[in-house]
Amino acid sequence: MSHAFLFHGGRVSEAARAYGGLPEDWLDLSTGLNPEPWPAARAGAGAVDWTALPDPDALAQLEAAAARHFGVAPNLCCAVPGSETALRLLARALDLPGRALVPAYRTHREAFYPSRPARFGEQPGAKEVFVLANPNNPDGALRDPEAIVEWAERIDASGGFLVVDEAFADCHPEASVARAVAPGLRLIVLRSFGKFFGLAGLRLGFVLGPPALMMLLRQLLGSWPVHAAALALGRAAYEDSHWIARTRAALPIRAEALDGVLRRHGLEPVGDCPLFRLVTGCEGQALFERLARARILVRPFAEFPDWVRFGVPADPAALARLDAALAGDRS
């Protein structure tokens, strides 16, 4: 298994080179993206003007639409070219040592130095940045938002910051702490557009935090933080309340269908996020290799060789293909 598959999901072309077939032959279950993305055509013909620089007014309109969706004031919301980029920028802007909960995103551990494991709710000491995800990745665990805010208040009193990565929170709006973001609290929330809306190629995310930090981030990002397509499609998607409601209802049904297939083959899924499921206690590398030979890409983990994460298949045909591969039928 190539080291690349242990770092991020979505390397279908590399998988095809390593295991055969063309990229279009593969079923990609490695990313945890919504398999039925928001239809970009809803933004309307001519929504993107590729001949002009991104419009500052369009940026303000996008941030206002996203802020309404998150439940915060627009001045507490800053658009960024992806939440991973935002985390690395925050490390530079805050200039403090950081600690990340584990298991978690690799970037949580890499962005801040020195990075050592943290425990949820622990008493903060000196000025530090604590980073956690809710829902967590890769285990899909959900934490009580009231407990998160209470921890943020204690970290604030110590002079540190709490960064809550809510990349998958659109599936669980009741678990978000975005509404607690305020000028006087050192709480920072990251939101991702690509996960729930399934358009990861736009590289669009948001940082929610105190106004002074928003101003600093805008200075670091410069005049055109995101491209014109992200401005147009992002705003239209956040304003599409009917699609959002239908998707929140449909994703758990897909996740339950995946649970049934995994259990049928002796794999016990865990996690509350309906965009992916984690399987533990398995022979992770052997399972990855077996599915790769059937041209199905899943997510293994270097630190946890008995873990594999499965994205939710888009439709019954994709689920049946996974079912057959787990049974050993490569036809």
pLDDT at 329: 56
At 234-290, the pLDDT tens digits run 999 999 999 999 999 999 999 999 999 999 999 999 999 999 999 999 999 999 999
Domain 43-239 sits in CATH at 3.40.640.10
Question: How does 115-138 read in b/e, with b if 16+ C-beta sit within 10 Å?
Answer: beebeeeeebeeebbbbbbbbbbb
How far apart, in Å, are the Cα atoms of 285 and each of 249, 300, 321?
A: 33, 7, 20
How much is the pLDDT for 330? 45
pLDDT of residue 305: 92
For the segment 177-197, the average pLDDT, to the nearest whole number, is 97
- Rounded to an integer, the average pLDDT of 153-169 is 96
Pick the CATH number of 3-37+242-326 from 1.10.10.10, 3.40.50.1010, 1.20.120.850, 3.90.1150.10: 3.90.1150.10
Q: Give residue 28's pLDDT band: very low, low, confident or very high (50, 70, 90).
A: very high
Predicted pLDDT at 155 = 96
How much is the pLDDT for 104? 79
Q: Model confidence at 117, in pLDDT bands (50, 70, 90)? A: confident
pLDDT bucket at 114, cuts 50 / 70 / 90: low
Strands of 77-80's sheet in order across: 77-80, 205-208, 187-192, 161-166, 129-133, 98-101, 115-118
pLDDT for 331 beyond 50: no
Residue 83: the pLDDT is 87
The pLDDT of residue 162:
97
Please report, to the nearest 10 degrees, the dihedral formed by the alpha carbons of residues 292, 297, 299, 303 taken in order.
30
Please provide the average confidence, as pLDDT, over all residues in the chain.
93
| Residue 129: pLDDT band with limits 50, 70, 90 | very high
pLDDT of 45 reads 72
Phi, psi of 248 (to 5 degrees): -60, -30
Q: Where are the domains of the chain?
A: 3-37+242-326, 43-239
Which residue has better confidence, 3 or 9? Answer: 9
pLDDT of residue 7: 58
Nearest to 110 by CA among 92, 137, 134: 92
